[in-house]
Structure formats: structure tokens, C-alpha cells
Amino acid sequence: MTDQKIALVTGASRGFGAAVAEELARAGYHVVAVARTQGGLEELDDRITAAGGHATLAPMDIAEVDAMRALCRGIYDRWGKLDLWVHAAIQTPALSPTEQVDAGMWDRLVPTNIHATGVLITFIAPLLRAAGGGRAVLIDDTASGPFMGAYTAAKAAQRALFTAWSQEQARLQDVRIAMFEPAPMATAHRQRFYPGEDKSVLALPADEARRMLDTLSLG
């Protein structure tokens, strides 16, 4: 087992997930960066390497169970543990009246946002436990309102899974669970919900990533 801190970031190719991956690399973690977008991961790796950090790229879909199982097995075989998991991956549905959310949207949203979160918990928990108190952080979002029903439901399901997991670990503390909600940020994810918003008043993902590391004492 290595003494180096190992962090897995799901949803790491852009936006807040990418900013978190960069900050963790600066803090001395070896970052395993997961996302579907190969180009985004390669650009992330370039930035991490230029800053003197180290990353392993895993271009894959978290909804593919066999791929996630193989990834977690690979983490165990290489490092024997995982110190931190930051779950920032999200399938962002289009704004839609709740009564008009079509079956195709649910077919895309549920596997990535809900099913994958539950499956990843089962795969990752033993790796965090092997680190002797590894940590898992869900990037939360409590935004809600008209036309956001599908997204709000997905985030509520993720939150429910992490809340129950945290309560189950409250006494043991061999795995520590947290949730972090960034301030509204200028990201493509948010722009889908608020296309006409003034971006100048929004937080920068890098600033919020640093705030997360400070708030949760992850540095």
C-alpha cells in the first residue's frame, strides 16, 4: 500500500469536477480522473502536469457497471486503497415541464445520476475503508423550481444515498461521508438552467474548489 494520497474524482473533465481535481493534485493527491469526455480529461491532465501534479485518466461512463468494477479493482491492485472520492458526475437534463419529461430522458438520467451513485458506493467503500478512514464527498445541489423536476429528483436521490451512508457510518467512522454544495458558479451545467444569467456575479469553480478543500480539511 502506498503512502501517497489517492483521490478519485468522478465527473472530472470540466466545470467544478475539473477544478476539484486540479486543487487536489496541488494538495499532493494522485488524482484518478473519471469522465466520458476524453479531450476534457487530456486538457485536465495537461494543467495538472504543468502545475507539478500527477493524474491517471479514466475515460469511461460511470453508468457502465463493469467498467466501474474494473476501475476500482485496478485502484486496489495499484495502490491498495483510496483516500478520497469526490462524486461530481451528473447528467444534466433539459428544462422541461414535469408532465412532459419523456421516457428517454429518464433512461439517460437514472443510470448516471442514481443507479451509478448507488453502485459506486458499494465498489468504493472497501477502498476507502482500506485507507483507514477514507472520505467520500458528494457535490450537492439543492436548486429546485419550475421545469427542474427531473434534475431535482435525481439530486435528491443522490443526497438520500449519501445521507443514509453517513448515518450508518456515524459510529464506526472507518469511512467518513460529507456533502458540499458550491455557490452558484459560471459553468456549462448551470447555464443550461439559467441561460440568460449574468455570469459576472457567479463564483469561479477554482475558488469554490479551494473553499471545499478548506471547509472539509482535505488539503
The more confident residue out of 126 and 184 is 126
Regarding pTM above 0.85, the answer is: yes
> Taking residues 79-96, what's their average pLDDT?
93
User: What is the sign, positive or negative, of the torsion defined by CA atoms of 122, 160, 194, 24?
Assistant: negative
Judged against a pLDDT cut of 80, whether residue 79 lies above it is answered with yes
Q: State how far the alpha carbon of 213 is from the alpha carbons of 25, 137, 172, 218, in Å.
A: 12, 11, 23, 5
Give the model confidence (pLDDT) of 57-77 as tens digits: 999 999 999 999 999 999 999
- Work out whether strand 134-139 and strand 175-180 pair parallel, antiparallel, or are unpaired: parallel
Structural domains of the chain, with CATH: 6-208 (3.40.50.720)
User: According to the model, what pLDDT value does residue 92 have?
Assistant: 84
Split at pLDDT 50, 70, 90, the class of 95 is confident
Residues 4-39: pLDDT tens digits? 999 999 999 999 999 999 999 999 999 999 999 999
Residue 173: left if φ>0, alpha if ψ -120 to 50, beta else—which one? left
Q: Which residues contact 76 (CB under 8 A, 6 or more apart)?
A: 126, 127, 130
